Structure 1
Amino acid sequence: MRLRMDREDLSGGISTVTRALATRTTLPILEGILLETTPAGLRLVCNDTVLSIEDTVPVEVMEEGSVVVPGRMFSEIVRRLPEGKVELELDGDRVIVRSKGSKITVVALDAAEYPRLPAVEDASPIKIPQKLLKEKINQVIFATADDETRPILTGVLMEMGRDMTLVALDGYRLAMNHLPLSMDGNRRSVVPGKSLSEMARTLSDGDELVEISFQGNHIRLDMGPIQMISRLLEGEFIQYRQILPTDFSTLVKLSREAFFDAIQRASLVVREGRNNLIRLHFEGEELAITANSEMGDALEKVAIECEGKPLDIAFNAKYLSDVLKSLDDEFIQLNFSTSVSPLVVTPVEGEEYLYLVLPVRLHG
């Protein structure tokens, strides 16, 4: 194998695929990057057994071939090379990297030993603008669970039918978002949160389409030169619709930005506390937010439109902030039943999203 390419192209491809570079694996070869010449260019692949990412970069091929190079070392070498052309040459079990006055040799592994990626073929892939999918993922991903004792909750449920619904919940909050979609049949799949997070990082901010395919226990995202394949989580996701409140006694419309900013300021005095507790009092045309700790006290007031009963309720400030910063609506609606029932956040109009946040019980 002998190749020549721009350092910038190679570095960009490495940066993309190494998001799936394995660490602490029982298969040491997965700590490497597969390099393989193809008619489309140089194919780079990383695979951590759950998520695999491949990218194809432009290259001038003098001699075809394939090899696995040590991932972290090779990535750092390429990152530190001078700008301009880079030449790679396979010499026995070593890869020689040349760039201007630089020549570095690294021990490589046989590409034939690299595990084959699963074939994920779908006759009718779902096509969605990349920017839209990225936005929707980011609006729910924060609500996945970190606790591996319930593995299914570390993923995001993707329900597909007349639309696509993304759902994440961790026992304290639930995030749900809808994308317009039309497909034959219905499907429920749970994608690992870490995989979906890396997918969101890789999706562009443009209107180019991403193709989503499912086959067996895998999902594939096709973004042209970039392909991402993830295993799906096994198990039954919580029947979340059964826990969504439907009757409310207090409805509040307010500025999302004003509410978020007030929470951020009030939480400064309780940030070091065990539960980051803030208290909310809704009545008439005003919301009063209070926070108290050994470090200080805070009072914030926000203008609101309130229908129904006055209400006192408390929350972990972070859980509220995570919801508010994921949205960009100017105004939102807060829906309450009682001071010990979940808060439901919805748009003022429509059903594009829904967030549920459990309150903190107040004693005395």
Structure 2
Amino acid sequence: MKFSVSQSSLERALAVVTKGMASNSTLPILSGIHIIARPGAIELQTTNLTISIRHSVAANVEEEGETVVAGKTLQAIVKTLSDAAVSFESRDHIVVIACEKSRFRLNTLDAADFPEFPSYTLERSIELPCALVGAMVDKVYKVTSKDTSRPILSGVLLSVHENTIRMVATDSYRLAVCDSNTETSGADEPFTAIVAGSTLHDVLSLASDADSMMMGTNESQVVFSFGATTYVARRIEGTFPNYKQLLPSSCGTSVTVDVETLSAALRRVSVIAQANSSVRFDIDVEGEVMRLSASSPDQGDSTETVPVRAEGESMSIALNYHYVFDCVNAAATDSQLTLELQNTMQPGIFKSYGQINYLYLLMPVRM
């Protein structure tokens, strides 16, 4: 195998495929990058047996072939090289990498031992705008559960119907729902899939430079394709919780507050809530203010009052400020946030409206 490729192109390609490498595997081959040289291009492949990624790069290929190189080592080398042509030549389990005055000799692994890239036949597929979907993923993926015993809660329910995209995530303590309208391709019938939140986040970070991506599914796989990249992951099987039954049809109190004002006030008040994550929200409808307070037996207490627009009855609720911060950060691109309450012991529901409509339901904590 012998080829040359530009350093900048190779560095970008490695940033993509290294997302698929196994980090703590007992199999060294899974920590490697499978390099395949074909006329006019090289293909890089990685897998951790849960996800598989391949990416093609234009290259001057003098001799076809394939090999497997340690991924972290190769990426570290390429990052340090000048922006010039990088040549590779592989012989007898050794690859020689040269760029201007730099030269490296690396041991390689047998390409025959590298897992074959997954084959797939898609049952459904759809074309989605990357920028919009990426913004939606940012609003929901932190709400996915990290509990491996309930894999369905680690996923995001993604549905597309009649040009409406919706994403839903829950960890059983909170629920995030966002939707937006956009022109979609291939969605004549409802498209639904449950995809790991970490997978969606990784894919959209890799596709940040692409205008659109194809997403397809079959019984066991979910496939993403954008530019020169293909990303294949296992599909989460099971039935997503019926989140709609958690959403009340009415509320007793509605409060609208400036997002930046709430964020700053919460940041100050929560300094006292380090040992106790509870922050109390006291809503004075007549005075149109909301009082945030936190207390700690060891440190003392803190309070801050913020102006609001309020309707309904005055009410109080205590919420986990870490979870409220996640909501406020997700709504940071919006100017206002609405908090709807039924009573002290029922969930609080935050809502914001814009290009992406956002709902965040949060269970209360004991006051």
**TM-score category, normalised to shorter length:** over 0.9
Partner in structure 2 of residue 354 of structure 1: 359
Q: Alpha-carbon deviation of 1:310? A: 0.4
Distance 1:242 1:65, change over 3 A: same
Partner in structure 1 of residue 148 of structure 2: 148
What CA deviation, in whole Å up to 9, does each residue of 1:206-236 have, x standing for no partner? 6x11111112211111111122111111222
2:354 and 2:25 map into 1 onto residues whose CA distance is 49
1:164 aligns with 2:165: yes
Partner in structure 1 of residue 315 of structure 2: 311
Deviates more, 1:311-320 or 1:324-333: 324-333
Partner in structure 2 of residue 189 of structure 1: 193
1:71 and 1:108 map into 2 onto residues whose CA distance is 11
- Paired residue for 2:305, among 284, 298, 301? 301
2:363 and 2:354 map into 1 onto residues whose CA distance is 23
Partner in structure 2 of residue 36 of structure 1: 36
Contact 2:34 2:111 in 1 (8 A): yes
Distance 1:270 1:262, change over 3 A: same
Partner in structure 2 of residue 68 of structure 1: 68
What CA deviation, in whole Å up to 9, does each residue of 1:245-286 have, x standing for no partner? 222100111111211111111112222x1x411111111210
Q: Alpha-carbon deviation of 1:168? A: 0.7
Contact 1:120 1:214 in 2 (8 A): no
Partner in structure 2 of residue 267 of structure 1: 270
1:124 and 1:280 map into 2 onto residues whose CA distance is 46
What CA deviation, in whole Å up to 9, does each residue of 1:98-139 have, x standing for no partner? 122222111112223221222344476312221111101111
Partner in structure 2 of residue 339 of structure 1: 344
What CA deviation, in whole Å up to 9, does each residue of 1:270-327 have, x standing for no partner? 22x1x41111111121011111222342221111111111011111111011011112
Q: Which amino acid aligns with 1:43?
A: E
Distance 1:82 1:233, change over 3 A: same
Contact 2:123 2:217 in 1 (8 A): no
Q: With the length of structure 1 as denominator, give the TM-score of the two structures.
A: 0.93
Contact 2:96 2:103 in 1 (8 A): yes
1:257 aligns with 2:260: yes
Partner in structure 2 of residue 236 of structure 1: 239
Deviates more, 1:77-86 or 1:51-60: 77-86
Structure 2 SS opposite 1:15? helix
Contact 2:224 2:230 in 1 (8 A): yes
CA RMSD of aligned residues (A): 2.0
Q: Alpha-carbon deviation of 1:243? A: 1.8
Structure 2 SS opposite 1:19? helix
Q: Alpha-carbon deviation of 1:335? A: 0.8
Deviates more, 1:214-223 or 1:278-287: 214-223
1:96 aligns with 2:96: yes
Q: Which amino acid aligns with 1:195?
A: T
Q: Which amino acid aligns with 1:200?
A: L
2:221 and 2:356 map into 1 onto residues whose CA distance is 29
Q: Alpha-carbon deviation of 1:198? A: 0.8
Contact 2:295 2:301 in 1 (8 A): yes
Contact 2:123 2:218 in 1 (8 A): no
1:137 aligns with 2:137: yes
Distance 1:244 1:126, change over 3 A: same
Aligned length in residues: 359
Q: Which amino acid aligns with 2:99?
A: S
1:215 aligns with 2:231: no
Contact 1:29 1:68 in 2 (8 A): yes
Distance 1:9 1:217, change over 3 A: same
Unaligned runs of 5+ in 2: none
1:144 and 1:303 map into 2 onto residues whose CA distance is 32
Structure 2 SS opposite 1:269? helix
Q: Which amino acid aligns with 1:312?
A: S
Partner in structure 2 of residue 110 of structure 1: 110
Q: Which amino acid aligns with 1:290?
A: S
Structure 1 SS opposite 2:237? coil
1:266 and 1:102 map into 2 onto residues whose CA distance is 55
Contact 2:281 2:316 in 1 (8 A): yes
- Paired residue for 2:204, among 196, 200, 214? 200
Q: Which amino acid aligns with 1:6?
A: S
1:243 and 1:187 map into 2 onto residues whose CA distance is 23
1:281 aligns with 2:282: yes
Unaligned runs of 5+ in 1: none
Q: Alpha-carbon deviation of 1:15? A: 1.4
Contact 2:124 2:191 in 1 (8 A): no
Contact 1:40 1:56 in 2 (8 A): no
Structure 1 SS opposite 2:109? coil
Q: Which amino acid aligns with 2:10?
A: L
Partner in structure 2 of residue 173 of structure 1: 174
Partner in structure 2 of residue 16 of structure 1: 16
- Residue identity over aligned pairs, in percent, reads 29
Q: Alpha-carbon deviation of 1:33? A: 0.4
Q: Alpha-carbon deviation of 1:74? A: 1.7
Partner in structure 2 of residue 321 of structure 1: 325
Q: Alpha-carbon deviation of 1:58? A: 2.4
